[in-house]
Chain A
Amino acid sequence: MKFKILKAIDVAGLQMLDPVVRLFYGETPREQLRKIVLFIVIPVLTIILSVLLWSYLAPRHTTKAGEVPTPGVVLDAARGIQQFHTWENQKADDFLLTGEARQNALAAVDTRIAELTPLSVAAAASVEEAKATQQAYREKYATPLEAEYKQLRNDLKAKEDSQEEALIAEADTLGVNDVAARQAYLKKVAAFDAMEEANKETLRAFKDKIDAVYSEKFPVLEAAQTTYNTIEAELQYLSKRRDYLTADNQELKIASAQIELKELETGFLSATTGKETFKAAERMLKKQESIDRIATSEYSRPWTFPRQIWRSLACVFLGFFIATAIAIPLGIFCGLSRVFMAALTPFIALFKPVSPIVWLPIIFIIVGGFISDPDVSMFHPAFLSSAITVALCSLWPTLVNTALGVASVDKDHINVARVLRLGLVSRLFKIVLPSALPLIFAGLRISLGVGWMVLIAAELLSSSEGIGKFTWDMFNNGSSESFAQMFVVVFVVGIVGLVLDRIMIVFQRLVSFDGAPTAL
């Protein structure tokens, strides 16, 4: 049992659990404890430490564009993203709710609205109150400063003007070629200029003082606004839900359309003239059509982050699949034939370093040429372009590793194949591929990692729904939450990347005979 677990842990690439299991079975406790400290306690400690450091440093670094979010703020942003997702799902569900369930949901919504309405009124009042405080503060401190500033500016200006006049008057008295006097005069003018500059500085410094009053933060106001906005946002959501539970609900829409259909039917049956009958018939059929349409319609839900993550995963796997389908056969040929390798080397060297940002527009044009009507195509063009970009950027490690793996098959194995007079195909599948597999999988693992990294940029550029588009949209929002949302993206991308990598490690382990070192 113990060894089975250890083996499973090893294959899954979760070596840090190894000492725990061994300790559990009482194997060399000292040694295992040392390992636990090394592999588990220390990493956990560094994580805790860095979170602490983060929460200490973040509020101390503010730019005009915004504040660096603390861990708490990031967590809130993550909750906000999740809430948006839940709300949209709820609306989609409401649209389809029928009968009793719809009535119950409606009752629940109404209760919640009744709860929130007085809260909203109170919150609005406290916002007004805080605003009044702010206004009072500004009037008390800024208004006198502004008056003082005006006075100061006028005084300085008057002084400058009189001095300037005096200087001009003095210039009139200067002898025409009196070098010494003119030199002295020049100095005076320079001093005057310096004074002007100094006055400007004084004024600016004064102005900064006024600006400081206006920029003074009011945490009470901010908190009140946040509360009010949260309540109002929920009320907005509830009123939309109400719509989907009443007027815009699918069942009710169909019901009301059916009543109309009945009316039209009566009209059709009782129509006397040919023209009327024809018209009524047409109208009836049209109504029937629109009922069918409503019956199959769905709430057109916006893309939310959790759905975008899945779509990104689909995109990266499609790209990865394309890359694998190209890279492994090419790699095998490269490994088998020196000529082929020589022919391909310049292309590998040339295209490997090209950035996804360059590939994407080119691929976009090519893909666009094949898909004339996006409505009927299986893949959305932007999705396909992103996947191909991922493929083009990520196929190189697999290609190179496959070539290397195939080329470095043990000579003895090849000789055995010769002796057995194996054909090309069986030599390939019985000898070459099995011994190259560990390296091929090592390549695939790197490819998937590269693909995942590239995907975000590709989606961002192509505006294909996915994590990349989410990132760009949230950045474009420029809201007070934008930065925190970027942090959420960082963690989500990191965690998904980690999981993908672990999965590839498992595969790699499963195909290696010798337990080649693959950890990390």
Chain B
Amino acid sequence: MDSAKISRVHRTLTYLIHMKAKAFLANALVVLTSFTANASDLDLEKDELKVGFIKLTDCAPIVIAKEKGFFEDEGLQVEVIAQPNWKTLLDNVISGNLDGAHMLSGQPIAATIGFGTKAHIVTAYTLDLNGNGITVSNNIWAQMQENDPALDTPQPKHPISADALKPIVEEKLDEGEKLQMGMVFPVSTHNYELRYWLAASGIHPGMYTETDTGGRTDADVELSVTPPPMMPQVLEAGNIQGYCVGEPWNQQAVFKDIGVPVTTNYDIWKNNPEKVFGVTKEWSDENPNTHVAVIKALIRAGKWLDEKDASGNFVNREEAVRILSQPNYVGADYDVIKNSMTGTFTFQKSDQRKMPEFNVFFDNYCTYPWYSDGVWFLTQMRRWGQITESKPASWYFEVVEEVYQPDIYLQAATLLLEDGLIEESDVPWNTNGYKPATTEFIDGIAYDGRDPIGYLNSHTIGNKDPEGLAKK
């Protein structure tokens, strides 16, 4: 409400300023000159780009870079094209139909190591942190509340673990059935988060093996792939009893009375990396300056999205939501997208909470391509058997260094800093690419990107590797 008021006042003011500016249009030209002077210093190899995205709110930096003219400031004309699913999106990037795309963090890594389609994909920019939720059907939620009366209040205490779900799973197993849950892609963060959440409460989500590419071996709960926009419908139809997906598809379920989001990935792992901007290695090598220009525009978009006023409210998010709700972008209703994007999340109609960090687009150095993020995804691929063999720790480091390109990010950041468009404190200039160890997981297990083998072995459920590999 406050920020709404502020943005309205802001607009009225800008409008008045505009009216004045009109009178001095000639002067305006001079202002413009100084503004564009710092732009196209880069010698672009290509200036008309096609960028793909999936209709999820975390495509925001790409859309904003286009709509707020950050791409144009770099001399780029960018067409932003919706893709029907993650597989097609990746195929289009590989085939060259798209220059780059909004990707799941796991996609560049999986493509590079050859799980699924093989292609060397790199990323120099992380689009956002958090932003996913796990939703269960109304019926399952009612049963969870019966199992744990603490949940049976209008506003239960968070985080909610899968403990209350376990008896339901066991009951189903006794009847010879398995609970079905949906996620969006085999190497998606959603798959790993849902697995993490289930496994943290001792529910086995199933293993991938060489012969089982569906990941259902030994499963207590079977996970299957459903495209994000289909999730609410499939849940309502009863094919699945719960799902893990990005926004706006959790909020849709609440507004349509189909299901209840029980937890967000912020509670599963605080400030976890979510989507990245991916291009092929080949493209990046052929168009190094264009790549830097794109990253420059994205950094500015990220910063714009996370801009806050003195009292800590987002300044630009409402405008961002307005843009995202256009039919050629995310296209969902303004009021649905607005929820999570402006820092509130509705768990039930009686339970709307402030979650300012539900989507992070710039703070916490989140846009920097951290090696440690890549290592985490690799450990999850190994934990659930998508990587079928044991690998030494050094292999993990090599792979992430092939995929994550902090050099390009820092080049872009340096140029922006020279132009005065970002602050020195916005970028981690001297880092080795590994975030400090953290225990901010739902089960409190410590993760240190420099010790992937030790991390793998600290979990009860999932693959474990010989300790000896840690030093190799």
Residues of A in contact with B (beta carbons under 8 Å apart): 63-66, 80, 84, 103, 106-107, 110, 113-114, 117, 120-121, 124, 128, 138, 142, 146, 150, 153, 157, 200, 204, 207, 210-211, 214-215, 225, 229, 232-233, 235-236, 240, 242-243, 246-248, 252-253, 255-257, 259-260, 286, 290, 293-294, 297-298, 300, 302-303, 368, 372-375, 380-382, 460-461, 463, 469, 472-480
Contact = CB atoms under 8 A, between A and B. Distances in A.
Contacts of A247: 32, 35, 69
Interface of A is mostly: helix
Given A124-B8, A302-B328, A476 B322 contact: no
Contacts of B78: 300
B339 interface: no
B83 A463 contact: yes
B420 interface: no
A248 to B, nearest CB: 6
Contacts of B248: 478
25 contacts: A64-B257, A65-B236, A65-B258, A103-B25, A117-B15, A120-B8, A124-B4, A146-B350, A215-B349, A225-B335, A232-B322, A233-B334, A246-B28, A247-B35, A247-B69, A256-B33, A259-B29, A297-B47, A300-B48, A302-B80, A473-B331, A474-B327, A476-B229, A477-B332, A480-B333
Given A259-B33, A375-B96, A478-B252, A302 B232 contact: no
Nearest to B47: A293
A373 B283 CA distance: 12
Interface in B69-85: 69, 72, 75, 77-80, 82-84
Contacts of B421: none
Contacts of B232: 65, 478
Contacts of B55: 473, 476-477
A146 B33 CA distance: 62
Contacts of B439: none
Given A381-B95, A473-B327, A302 B322 contact: no
Contacts of A476: 55, 82, 84, 227, 229, 331
Contact of B84 (A106, A253, A381, A463): A463
Contacts of B15: 110, 113-114, 117
B146 interface: yes
Contacts of A298: 77
Contacts of A157: 149
A129 to B, nearest CB: 12
Contact of A243 (B8, B69, B152, B328): B69
Which of B19, B69, B96 is the most central at the interface, judged by chain A CB atoms within 10 Å of its CB?
A: B96
Interface stretch (B36-44, B177-185, B218-226, B370-378): B36-44
Closest 3 CB pairs of A and B: A477-B331, A214-B349, A476-B229
B310 interface: no
Contacts of A381: 95, 97
Given A110-B19, A150-B153, A300-B77, A248 B97 contact: no
Interface in B5-40: 8, 11-12, 15, 18-19, 22, 25, 28-29, 32-33, 35-37, 40
Given A110-B19, A373-B96, A479 B29 contact: no
A207 B153 CA distance: 11
A106 B18 CA distance: 10
A89 to B, nearest CB: 14
Interface in B413-439: none
Contact of A479 (B8, B32, B40, B331): B331
Contacts of B37: 260
B458 interface: no
Interface in B232-289: 232-233, 236, 248-249, 252, 256-258
